[in-house]
Amino acid sequence: MTRTSLPRTANAVDNLVNVSPFNFPAKSQKRLIITIAIAKYYEETNREVTPEMMMWMVLKSFAMQMESLK
């Protein structure tokens, strides 16, 4: 039986200790996927990406519009 090992990191005295896997919530994953899509869209349409374009309300609106176009 194969068992996956936990990630390990060095502690204060340079001994390796197991650490729990990183928790990545579904909502964060959804936002990251939408952010990637909007960045690709802006790049394809030769628009400069600004911080204002990455606000959640803009991303949410973009996701709804792209979903309706598909």
Q: Shortest CA distance to 34 belongs to which of 18, 54, 16?
A: 54
The DSSP-derived string for 22-57 is PP--HHHHHHHHHHHHHHHHHHHTT----GGGGSHH
Would you place residue 32 in the very low, low, confident or very high pLDDT band (cuts 50, 70, 90)? very high
The domain in which residue 54 lies consists of 23-69
Average pLDDT over residues 49-58: 87
Would you place residue 26 in the very low, low, confident or very high pLDDT band (cuts 50, 70, 90)? very high
- Comparing 5 with 30, the larger pLDDT belongs to 30
Confidence (pLDDT) at 40: 92
Residue 6 located in a structural domain: no
Domain tally, the chain: 1
Residue 3 located in a structural domain: no
Confidence (pLDDT) at 1: 44
Residue 37 located in a structural domain: yes
- Using CB atoms within 10 A of its CB, is residue 37 exposed (0-12), middle (13-18) or buried (19+)? middle
